[in-house]
Amino acid sequence: MQPTHRSNRILLPAQSWYVYLSLLVALGLSYIPTGRLPGLPDWVAVVLAFWCVREPLRVGMGTAFVFGVLVDIGHGAAMGQFALAYVVLAYLASSVSRRVLWFPSPQQALHVLPLLLLSQIIMVVVRMVGGAEFPGWWYFLSSFSGTLLWMPLSVVLLLPQYRPVERDDNRPI
């Protein structure tokens, strides 16, 4: 694995425990009670999208479903609301994985923005069909803050996979 497909650096393989620990930490962050403050990123969605892009064979729709249900319970949302949004997000993130990894980090974030927006639109549609009121346009700010989070997050989440740079003139990469 490389940080991006154009990069010269080779990464160590991702550890399963680190992947799931990062998802659990994101779940904990999403449980922090912040009231009705708009624009807070959906931590689980961003971390999930990240691992679906990086490790599409390991993290996919099954993981998305489980974590979606856990977020549903923690937020007191309708059961299946976050699960549905995350499953669709995971499917799309895995399917664009091979394309996205050719781009540098800021452009990867631009690829992820429509996916995050789509997952929020799915939740709004589901709840409004269920008879809830429209939460206001500020609600969608969360996707944009999640996009801004992509760059720092991709450094932090790949941190254990970097190995120290060692110069070797006989090796091509």
Interface residues with another protein (CB under 8 A) are 24, 27-29, 31-36, 38, 60-62, 64-65, 68-70, 73-81, 83-84, 87-88, 91, 94-95, 126-127, 130-133, 135-136, 139
Q: Which is nearer to another protein, 74 or 114 (CB)?
A: 74
- Residue position matching structure tokens 């091509």: 172
Alpha-carbon span 48 to 63, nearest angstrom: 8
What's the closest the beta carbon of residue 8 comes to another protein, in angstroms? Answer: 29
Q: Which is nearer to another protein, 29 or 113 (CB)?
A: 29
What's the closest the beta carbon of residue 108 comes to another protein, in angstroms? Answer: 20
- Residue 166, C-beta contacts closer than 8 angstroms, at least 6 positions apart: none
Q: Which is nearer to another protein, 131 or 172 (CB)?
A: 131
Orientation angle between helical segments 43-54 and 105-129, nearest 10 degrees: 130
What's the closest the beta carbon of residue 161 comes to another protein, in angstroms? Answer: 24
Q: Which is nearer to another protein, 40 or 151 (CB)?
A: 40
Helices (H) and strands (E) in the chain, counts: 6, 0
Q: Which is nearer to another protein, 38 or 114 (CB)?
A: 38
The C-alpha torsion from 120 through 14 and 29 to 133, rounded to 10°, is 10
What's the closest the beta carbon of residue 27 comes to another protein, in angstroms? Answer: 6
Question: 100: how many CB neighbours lie within 10 A of its CB?
Answer: 22
What's the closest the beta carbon of residue 130 comes to another protein, in angstroms? Answer: 4
Alpha-carbon span 173 to 171, nearest angstrom: 6
